Structure 1
Amino acid sequence: MSGNTEKDRNDQFDPGTYPVDQSLELELPEPILESSTSIEQALAERQSVRSYSGRSLALSDVSQLLWAAQGITRDSFFRTAPSAGALYPLEVYLVVGNVDGVVAGVYRYVSSRHSMLRVLDGDRRDELCRVSLSQPQIRDAAAVVVIAADYSRTTVKYGIRGIRYAHVEVGFAAENVYLQGVSLGIGTCAVGAFDDGEVASILDLPVNEEPLLIMPIGYV
């Protein structure tokens, strides 16, 4: 990748395989960079939450959580979670069921534009729950974050070890979501028990992307 500009790298990895249809893209509110919750407080209060209030999520809070997972932080390229070689193999999807002003469906987070691109219509929470050992928090959450990886982005440089690096990276991104959730009053629970092929089918993931983690989100 030597010689590529930051713009070239963003164009290569983001927005990926989906065409950009402006009618399907939702610009997100700008993320905030300060709050009354210290990092120490967020660490102390972080826990897995499986029961939610049933309230619809504010779009501003959804925006903040997606930014925490894979948002741009500086130089129009680097992201909130560290990545081996800054190759960023992760892709973040949001399965929307109950978000203020947002049509139910599956959305792909576009880091470079801080937006969501609708890739599928319809509420898919029940389907995700079914293929995740029927864990009810997935069905009951207002929305569900699904993190997938394109291993080829890291294996092209690091060989088979790049798969390990992608697995490490999903842990970074998930913890960011947990900690950001504390400051917003939003709970989540990392779910790794699911049928990979079924999840990929439900979300209509590109063939080069593998689902790694499911994180239902809702107000505590």
Structure 2
Amino acid sequence: MSKKNNNVTDYWDYSLYKILDKGVLEDVLKFHQSTTTIKNGDYTNPFSHNTYNWLDQVEYQDTLPNFFLGEIDLDITKENFQNSKREFKKESIPKSTLGNILYKSFGRSKDHSSKRYPSAGALYPVMPLIYILDDEAVLGIPSAKGVYLFDSEKSVLKKIKSWNEEEFNSFVQSINPWQNELYSNILIGYAINMEKTVAKYKKRGYRHALIEVGLMAQAFREVIKQENSLGDFCWSGFDDNTVTYYSGLNPRLCPVTLLQWFGITGENI
């Protein structure tokens, strides 16, 4: 029998702290922070000429072994897959469409508590955030601008952050520090609850969480391709800590690790 879900937020889960290894948590937090991008006004290109030469050779190429024992031909009929889309129309998405794609991507099954994607130990430590950057971005949600957390148990959006003008401008700059461009007026963020991540599986739990982020992003892409004219692309070129801060979360304990832009492309994908 599936365990019953409750609505107790992770931040108040006192039983978690009875089993949490603080040393492991600190190690994981330090490692994660070492991977973050801190802008601080530095626009220096991190790639050398040699790096670009190497990229010309390896982009869009499989990683294959130099030596192998043999090959087996497979009977394959090639088809076109949905690729990343970076150009979106400034059109509003209906509330019903948004709800449908969020539920099918991140919601719980009708007859049990599992989701579309697997999670180690059924812990689901990754929180799907919805950023609405314009009050008119979603038809049926007035004054929608802000950050929301999708509650998969109740199938509701919980608003966790509103911005004043200064905060919003800082947030926009932190999303794309080097180009200062918004690709769409709505996007998804994936934030990892680091304490929940390491409580059971210790450091290995961090690996599980990163895998889960990828699974969620792919689940979202597979769902929106069922909707005509919707597309997406994943984005990691953001100022991690600043984005997390302006998402209303703790940059150390609940860092945003991936953003996924989406919107109406105007194409019948």
Counterpart of 1:181, as a letter, is I
- Paired residue for 1:83? 119
Structure 1 regions of 5+ residues with no counterpart?
19-42
Alignment of 1:159-198 (within 5 A): 159-184=202-227, 185-198=229-242
| Percent identity for Structure 1 against Structure 2 | 23
Cα 1:17–1:58 shift into 2, 3 Å: farther
Q: Secondary structure at the match of 1:162?
A: helix
Compare 62-71 and 126-135 and name the one that shifted more.
Answer: 126-135
Structure 2 regions of 5+ residues with no counterpart?
13-78
- Paired residue for 2:106? 70
Alignment of 1:1-220 (within 5 A): 6-7=3-4, 9-12=5-8, 15-17=9-11, 44-96=80-132, 97=134, 98-102=137-141, 103-122=144-163, 127-134=170-177, 139-184=182-227, 185-206=229-250, 208-220=253-265
Contact 1:99 1:142 in 2 (8 A): no
Counterpart of 2:139, as a letter, is D
Cα 1:10–1:78 shift into 2, 3 Å: farther
- Compute the TM-score of the two structures, normalised by the length of structure 1: 0.76
Give 1:64 shift.
2.2
Cα 1:111–1:120 shift into 2, 3 Å: same
In structure 1, how many angstroms separate the alpha carbons of the residues matched to 2:130 and 2:157? 8
Give 1:193 shift.
1.9
More strand by share: 1
Contact 1:95 1:125 in 2 (8 A): no
Contact 2:94 2:139 in 1 (8 A): yes
Cα 1:117–1:177 shift into 2, 3 Å: same
Contact 1:186 1:218 in 2 (8 A): yes
In structure 1, how many angstroms separate the alpha carbons of the residues matched to 2:204 and 2:172? 31
Counterpart of 1:212, as a letter, is T
Q: Secondary structure at the match of 1:6?
A: coil
Give 1:127 shift.
4.2
Give 1:155 shift.
1.5
More helix by share: 1
Cα 1:142–1:172 shift into 2, 3 Å: same
Contact 1:109 1:117 in 2 (8 A): yes
Aligned residues: 190
Q: Secondary structure at the match of 2:182?
A: helix
Contact 1:125 1:138 in 2 (8 A): no
- Compute the TM-score of the two structures, normalised by the length of structure 2: 0.63
Q: Secondary structure at the match of 2:138?
A: coil
Cα root mean square deviation, aligned: 2.6
Counterpart of 2:224, as a letter, is G
Contact 2:126 2:213 in 1 (8 A): yes
